[in-house]
Structure 1
């Protein structure tokens, strides 16, 4: 039963990742593209956690944590650049 739930979650999150990629390519404005990129890294984290649960390996959880930290820093930097035009003051 757990393997069926994990497979269903893989399919749903992969579909969400593809839709986010579509929004990243076709976004009408820059904030839409930043939001799509932010949501893509969150979906990637979810896929890594599911894959770690499926294989029963903890290395995927550490990789998900690293992606979460880098994604947060990247989103903050992009938003700051969008608002002020400069990242480092």
Structure 2
């Protein structure tokens, strides 16, 4: 791996970790439930991006598969949480 690409990936990894920490703080201190939902969305996106950068650094395709699963489950979780906040239940009888 090129030295410039390595340092850029390391910098990006640090930025994503900082974003993950700030989202976790918003999750814990959020005044409303919508703030907490947005913090969870930000956390799964940052987690997915961290795995993608690690996959680039280590050159392994396994990280990309795991990132795909995280994005899929994160989207389904966001839809379920939005439905719960709007109607009060996720699965309607």
Scaled to the shorter chain, the TM-score interval is over 0.9
Match for residue 30 of structure 1? 33
Find 1:3's aligned residue among 6, 13, 16.
6
Where does structure 1 lack aligned partners over 5 or more consecutive residues?
none
For normalisation by structure 2, the TM-score amounts to 0.94
> How far 1:54 sits from its partner (Å)?
0.2
Find 1:65's aligned residue among 68, 73, 77.
68
Find 1:54's aligned residue among 50, 53, 57.
57
Root-mean-square deviation (CA, aligned residues, Å) is 0.5
The alignment covers a number of residue pairs equal to 89
For normalisation by structure 1, the TM-score amounts to 0.98
State the alpha-carbon separation in 1 of the partners of residues 75 and 21 from structure 2: 21
**Structure 2 matches for 1:37-48, cutoff 5 A?**
37-48=40-51
For each residue in 1:40-83, what CA deviation from the matched residue of structure 2 results, as whole angstroms up to 9, or x when unmatched? 00000000000000000000000000000000011110110010
Q: 4+ residue stretches of structure 1 with deviation over 3 A?
A: none
